[in-house]
Amino acid sequence: MLLEVANLTVSYDKAMLINDLSMSVDEGELVSLVGPNGAGKTTLLRAVTGLVAWEKMTLRGTAGGDVTLKGRISFDGKAIEKTPAHEIVRMGLVHCPERRRPFREMSVIENLMAGAYLHPDKTQTQVDLEMVYKLFPVLEKRTRQVSGTLSGGEQQMLAVGRALMSRPKLLCIDEPSTGLAPLMRKEVFNKIEQIRDMGITILLVEQEVGTVFKMATRNYVLSSGKIIAQGKGEDLLEDEVIRKTYLGL
């Protein structure tokens, strides 16, 4: 088991964001997290990758207030509940955030090199860069272009490429299709499958349930901070209550 989450609870002031949640990801899997907006999917990824501290802190993006976390998270056999985010990245658990978020004033190559910051081996970094360029040829064509001038699809490819430069064992990708045209969404999902075929384990948060269920090994359905169903896509789609109530299908 590559990632194991046990009895995870995340609360913001008196609001429960994640409620006694347990899940796992095995090496080589592509596992999806689906569910309605506000279900806790992004909070779960942020907690797993160390972006929410493990005692009390101010939740980034809010006006203030204490966040309390309880539970156990292990990655590659090691407890990481109180491990700093940069050390979690160094271990191979890497977060590709929602809304892409490139360093907009930096070039494509500067963004990619930022992903390699924790790995000083220049020879291996060059190998990683060539791998990213092979996967995303458009990035090589745009290598000196300022990232903020890229299209939305190109920025998403850059975000994934930057994450790959961190050499993930497990890549957490948060809603990569958001704001993209249908053809570009299809291209991004195709690239995610290629990454999985390269041997990189993937934990994917996504709203495109129909597409994700065809890709994923297993799926977790979240609602109000709880996992209310799990299994293969075809089995979940046969449940009319889950399909209509939680997946909007």
The neighbour count for residue 96, using CB atoms within 10 Å, is 28
The per-residue pLDDT for 53 is: 61
Q: Is the pLDDT of residue 58 over 90?
A: no
Residue-wise pLDDT for 209-219, tens only, equals 989 999 999 99
Q: Which domain holds residue 19?
A: 3-99+170-246
Residue 145 lies in a domain: no
- SS3 state at 45: helix
**Quick one: pLDDT band at residue 103, thresholds 50, 70, 90?**
confident
What number is the average pLDDT over the span 227-231? 94
**Quick one: pLDDT band at residue 55, thresholds 50, 70, 90?**
very low
Mean pLDDT lowest among 36-50, 58-72, 107-121, 213-227: 58-72
Q: Is the pLDDT of residue 57 over 60?
A: no
The per-residue pLDDT for 52 is: 81
What number is the average pLDDT over the span 186-206? 96
Q: Is the pLDDT of residue 198 over 50?
A: yes
Residue 157 lies in a domain: no
The per-residue pLDDT for 63 is: 46
Residue 144 lies in a domain: no
Residue 78 lies in a domain: yes
The per-residue pLDDT for 60 is: 47
Axis crossing angle, helix 182-197 with helix 122-135, rounded to the nearest 10: 140
The per-residue pLDDT for 85 is: 92
Residue 184 lies in a domain: yes
The per-residue pLDDT for 65 is: 63
The per-residue pLDDT for 64 is: 54
Query: With the CA atoms of 215, 71, 78 and 161 taken in that order, what torsion angle do they form, in degrees rounded to the nearest 10?
Result: 40
Core vs surface per residue 49-84: b (16+ CB within 10 A) or e: bbbbebeeeebeeeeeeebbbebebbbeeeebeebe
Residue 192 lies in a domain: yes
Q: Is the pLDDT of residue 99 over 90?
A: no
How many independent structural domains does the chain possess? 1
Q: Is the pLDDT of residue 245 over 90?
A: no
Q: Is the pLDDT of residue 80 over 90?
A: yes
Residue 191 lies in a domain: yes
Mean pLDDT, the chain, whole residue set: 90
CATH number at residue 56: 3.40.50.300
Residue 89 lies in a domain: yes
The per-residue pLDDT for 134 is: 97
